[in-house]
Amino acid sequence: MLDVLIINGRYPDFRCEELKTGNIGAEKGMITYIGTQMPPARHTIDAADRIVSPGFIDIHMHEDDLRGETPQYIIGDMMLKMGVTTACGGNCGIQQQRLCDLKTSMDHLGGSPVNLVMFAGYNQMRYLLGMGHNEPASPAQRRALLTLLKEELEEGASGISFGIEYDPAMTDADILEALTLLDDEGYLASAHFRESGTGAIASIEEMNRLAKESGVKFQISHLSSCAATGQMAESLQLIDEMIAENPLLDFDTYPYNAFSTLIGSEVFEKESLDQWCEDIGTIMLTKEPYKNVFCTEEILEEARTKYPDMLAVGFIMNEDEIRAAICDKHGMIGSDGILFGGDGHPRASGTFPRVLGKYVREEQALSLLDALSKMTIKPADRLSLSGKGRIELGADCDLTIFDEKTIIDGATYEEIHVQPQGIDYVILGGQIAMDHGVVVNDRLGRFIPFRRSEV
């Protein structure tokens, strides 16, 4: 007897590149039936007029910080509500907790809202060694960095991420040395560029060099925050040529025309600011005493000094360029969801429904099938999750059932916690996590350690 049977839904078959209609059944967390029959099942869901998608995979987010007395999931909870079943944290070189501590925290909490894959954050390891943002690594520090990164990989990290812009002293030699640790073809490296705006093209060229020289699968992180201020057309053209030469290169991007990062970071240092920001009034702060306040010179200075961990949002990107990145034949969707004390940018809770509602339905800028592939099978393959991101016999039963006519994000810059609409069910490992849009089990997710390729 099947545990769950979903009938009459339309689902993507990426092998045939089409949407099919049929029934999907699962047993012990695995898809064991696809067809038109009605085999007996403990639980049946009628998905007529609905899309049954593989659960969305967010290849670029920043996991919850589970330290402290009363840790709680905030981004994890938002991920689940927007249909994500597997998320990848530890991006941009930032890893809130060492992996062994994070896993312990997750165990204490009895699981997590969604499955979690983790990168080892290169910058974080620098900070653990007490290194400053502009401090070049000495030979001894480089050895220590490698040791720390190795420990994270042994704990199950799926690759290494770099936040080059945040620690400008980081050299290509440092990065290439770290990448030698990724000695299995399944590993992925990701990098937050060195410079955005006028520095975008040079930064993309640098990442391409790193990708080619390392021979590692390499992800250009959140392309839109790098190049959506006038450089996107050139960037996409360049990336297309680069991928033709090196198919291990790709990128992720999010569907908002504002970026977000810590106000205390290098991004807001005078020199860097001059590179990308014409008007300080386009920068909004996200926490009291400056919640939803746009910056003046004085406020910016005060916030950087007193509240360096506060997230700021910069409304500087062009919508046409955001759309171009999302609709490009390359690339995938990643939320870059990051919050500080529950405050931040709506992308943490709206990214995937926004792509499906705004760009697929309202603007018809890309097809439903292409959008789903950028949210499921492409990131699954990037992260070497061979059982996820697809509806096939033997695949994991992680599914998101939604109404393509109504799905849309709810979160705004002022109210980031508003739940998206149009998502009926989220299923993790064959068990129902969200039922008719209501969370019924938010601890079904697990940490997914990296698995070496079989030779």
Contact window for Zn ion (CB under 5 A) among 33-41, 90-98, 228-236, 252-260? 90-98
Both structure tokens of 4: 């769950």
The 3-class secondary structure across 35-73, one letter per residue, is: ECCCCCEEEEEECCCCEEEECEEECCECCCCCCCCCCCC
Minimum Å distance from CB 22 to Zn ion?
39
Name the residue with the smallest CB distance to Zn ion: 92
Q: Which of 126, 192, 304, 345 binds Zn ion (CB under 5 A)?
A: 192
Provide CB contacts within 8 A for 47, sequence distance 6+. Answer: 6, 7, 8, 9, 401, 424, 425
* x/- track of binding to Zn ion for residues 240-259 (CB under 5 A): --------------------
Minimum Å distance from CB 164 to Zn ion?
10
Q: Which is nearer to Zn ion, 226 or 391 (CB)?
A: 226
Strand-pairing partners, residue 56, are 84
Q: Which is nearer to Zn ion, 192 or 194 (CB)?
A: 192
Closest CA to 122 of 154, 150, 87, 155: 150
Q: Which is nearer to Zn ion, 258 or 360 (CB)?
A: 258
Q: Which is nearer to Zn ion, 326 or 428 (CB)?
A: 326
Minimum Å distance from CB 228 to Zn ion?
14
Report the distance separating Cα 356 and Cα 362, nearest Å. 9
Q: 82 near 411, Cβ under 8 Å?
A: no
Minimum Å distance from CB 429 to Zn ion?
30
Q: Which is nearer to Zn ion, 98 or 192 (CB)?
A: 192
Minimum Å distance from CB 190 to Zn ion?
9
* Positive or negative: CA dihedral 31, 32, 37, 41: negative
Q: Which is nearer to Zn ion, 103 or 347 (CB)?
A: 347
Contact window for Zn ion (CB under 5 A) among 103-111, 119-127, 189-197, 232-240? 189-197
Contact window for Zn ion (CB under 5 A) among 144-152, 186-194, 195-203, 348-356? 186-194
Q: Which is nearer to Zn ion, 225 or 419 (CB)?
A: 225
Q: 89 near 124, Cβ under 8 Å?
A: no
Does residue 92 belong to the site contacting Zn ion (CB under 5 A)?
yes
Minimum Å distance from CB 127 to Zn ion?
16
Q: Which is nearer to Zn ion, 50 or 192 (CB)?
A: 192
Does residue 432 belong to the site contacting Zn ion (CB under 5 A)?
no
Contact window for Zn ion (CB under 5 A) among 41-49, 191-199, 381-389, 440-448? 191-199
Q: Which is nearer to Zn ion, 253 or 376 (CB)?
A: 253
> Residues in contact with Zn ion, total (CB under 5 A)?
2
* x/- track of binding to Zn ion for residues 36-65 (CB under 5 A): ------------------------------
Contact window for Zn ion (CB under 5 A) among 45-53, 69-77, 87-95, 442-450? 87-95
Contact window for Zn ion (CB under 5 A) among 185-193, 303-311, 358-366, 435-443? 185-193
Instruction: Give the N- to C-terminal CA distance of the chain in Å, as an integer.
Output: 35
Footprint of Zn ion (CB under 5 A): 92, 192
